[in-house]
Chains A and B, each alone.
Chain A
């Protein structure tokens, strides 16, 4: 029904009244002449809708007069607009601009990325030639995908699809493969640090120390040489977990006089409208000089989930000044403990702290925190033996 209405509107139609004579004869004659009527009203207010042409000829024959009540449709609309040449010029200009704009890519979307930031992919696509405003004919999806995949080894597969003025980069990332344990090589197990062996789990190889033994860093713990019942020896890839009690010393020094940047309260906001890749300033503020902290925000306009080639770009410049301040003893101690904790975490890994003893040394302007730790950790370290 909608298609019929649209067709009628495009072809144009007239709603008219039939005055005098015989409306029935008029309708019959006209229908026989090829006219197509709809919404035909009976007496006394006879009338109908008819396609814009070819209905007047039968009126005189039927002895009636026709009175046009309404003209509708595209032909009449265009006829009414004939005096307004600017409208036609505007419509033509609109069509030309629309056509020219449709030759470009205006939105670049990235989908499927998890670990690779979208900004990096967009930046790489931009340097490879795909950015808002690029000609669609210059976009070579295969070459672009290859170029980006070479830059990001964590991307397994990439496809670039152009849908209208949107370029969609669909990314699939690699699944990280687990570390492959090379069990073919020959290696010993040595001590990673000095300590006393508490527990030994030897999966392969010949243990050369026992539980309770004290070992030093680099000492052989499990040998790769395995002797069978017949007295023949063979080289193996020794594997073991050696839990040992170790001691570590960590020292951290913290200056009490510190420097931090505090906002002064002066803020300069620069707003720009981003339209078809062109940045149009919306504020008169210029880029400030001095110590400022900059934060940027870009708001993309979206329509039905699609990014439009228009948005608002805001730069917020916040003035800061350096401020020297003195940490209190508690604050200095807390900071030193925090730094020491980070250091311990770096070398201890999965091990645990059994006991700790800390000592503080205060000077006029600094604190030195020394931690003596007794830990339990796996000290087994593979040491490869090169054989021919």
Chain B
């Protein structure tokens, strides 16, 4: 539970589930991925984007990858995504 209230991505879920599901990943085909609950960008070029979340690192691979926008806890990766890896 976030201090001062629950985050938007956990609305409608039981309290405490945030610890089990630390981030929210939403895919629009293989062209766009929205990650909520990220903690930062670890690696970024047009073939690979690595994003750190609270417990895992997500690795997007593909062609022409770009981070369309970036805020404190969310980012949008766009491009031709060919793979997604979750690294604990």
Residues of A within 8 A of B (CB): 23-25, 27-29, 31-34, 36-44, 46, 48
Q: Mark B53-76, 1 if CB is under 8 A from A, else 0.
A: 000000000000111111110010
* A-contacting 9-mer, from B6-14, B18-26, B35-43: B35-43
With a cutoff of 8 Å between Cβ atoms, the chain A residues found around residue B68 in the complex are 38-40
Is the Cβ of B72 less than 8 Å from the Cβ of A40?
Answer: no
Residue contact B44 to A24, C-beta cutoff 8 Å: yes
Of the candidates A27, A29, A38, the one whose C-beta lies within 8 Å of that of B44 is A27
**Least Cβ–Cβ distance between A325 and chain B, in angstroms:** 90
Q: Give the nearest-CB partner of A38 in chain B.
A: B69
Contacts of B41 in A (CB 8 A): 24, 27-28
Specify which chain A residues have a CB less than 8 angstroms from the CB of B71 in the assembled complex.
Answer: 31, 36-37
Contact size class for B?
Answer: 10 to 19
CA distance A138 to B36 in the complex (A): 59
Cβ–Cβ < 8 Å partners of B42 in chain A: 24, 28
| B85 interfacial contact with A, CB 8 Å | no
Are the C-beta atoms of A40 and B40 separated by less than 8 Å? no
Q: Kindly identify which residue among B43, B52, B70 contacts A40, using a CB–CB cutoff of 8 Å.
A: B70
Set of chain B residues within 8 Å of A24, measured between Cβ atoms = 40-44
Q: Are A31 and B44 in contact (CB under 8 A)?
A: no
Across the interface, which residues of B come within 8 angstroms of A43, CB to CB?
44-45
CA distance A361 to B67 in the complex (A): 108
Inter-chain contacts of A40 with B (CB < 8 A): 44, 66-70
- Chain A's closest residue to B75 (CB) is A31
Enumerate chain B residues within 8 angstroms of A36, measured Cβ to Cβ.
Answer: 69-71
- A218 and B55 CA atoms in complex are apart in Å by 120
Q: Is A31 touching B66 in the complex (CB atoms < 8 A)?
A: no
Least distance between A62 CB and chain B CB atoms (Å):
11
CB contacts (< 8 Å) of A34 on chain B: these are: 72
B44 A42 Cβ-Cβ under 8 A: yes
Enumerate chain A residues within 8 angstroms of B67, measured Cβ to Cβ. Answer: 27, 37, 40, 42
Q: Write the chain B residue with the least CB distance to A33.
A: B72
Q: In whole angstroms, how far apart are the Cα atoms of A242 and B65 in the complex?
A: 102
A37: chain B residues at CB < 8 Å are 67, 69-71
| A-B contact list, 25 entries, CB within 8 Å | A24-B40, A24-B41, A27-B40, A27-B41, A27-B67, A27-B70, A28-B39, A28-B40, A29-B40, A31-B70, A31-B75, A32-B39, A32-B40, A36-B70, A36-B71, A37-B67, A38-B70, A39-B68, A40-B69, A41-B66, A42-B49, A42-B66, A42-B67, A43-B44, A48-B70
Given A27-B44, A28-B39, A42:B65 Cβ within 8 A: yes
Most buried by B among A23, A27, A33: A27
Complex Cα–Cα for A33 and B42 (A): 17
A23 touching B72 in the complex, CB below 8 Å, given contacts A28-B39, A40-B66, A41-B66: no
Name, among B44, B46, B65, B75, the residue most crowded by chain A CB atoms within 10 Å (CB to CB).
B44
Q: Which residues from chain B contact A46 at a C-beta distance below 8 Å? A: 44
Chain B residues contacting A32 (CB-CB under 8 Å) are 39-40, 72
Contacts of B49 in A (CB 8 A): 42
Complexed CA–CA distance, A48 and B70 (Å): 10
- In the bound complex, CA of A145 to CA of B5 (Å): 61
Kindly state the separation between the CA atoms of A40 and B68 in the bound complex, as whole angstroms.
Answer: 6
Residues of chain B within 8 A of A44, CB atoms compared: 45
Q: How far is the CB of A13 from chain B (nearest CB, A)?
A: 12
User: A44 to B72, alpha carbons, bound, how many Å?
Assistant: 23
Q: What is the bound-complex CA distance between A33 and B40, given in angstroms?
A: 11
Known: A24-B40, A37-B71. 19 other contacts (CB 8 A): A23-B44, A24-B41, A24-B43, A24-B44, A27-B40, A27-B70, A31-B75, A36-B69, A36-B71, A37-B70, A39-B68, A40-B67, A40-B69, A42-B44, A42-B45, A42-B49, A42-B65, A43-B45, A44-B45
Report, nearest first, the 10 A-B pairs whose CB atoms are least far apart.
A28-B40, A40-B67, A42-B45, A38-B69, A24-B41, A37-B70, A43-B45, A42-B44, A31-B70, A24-B44
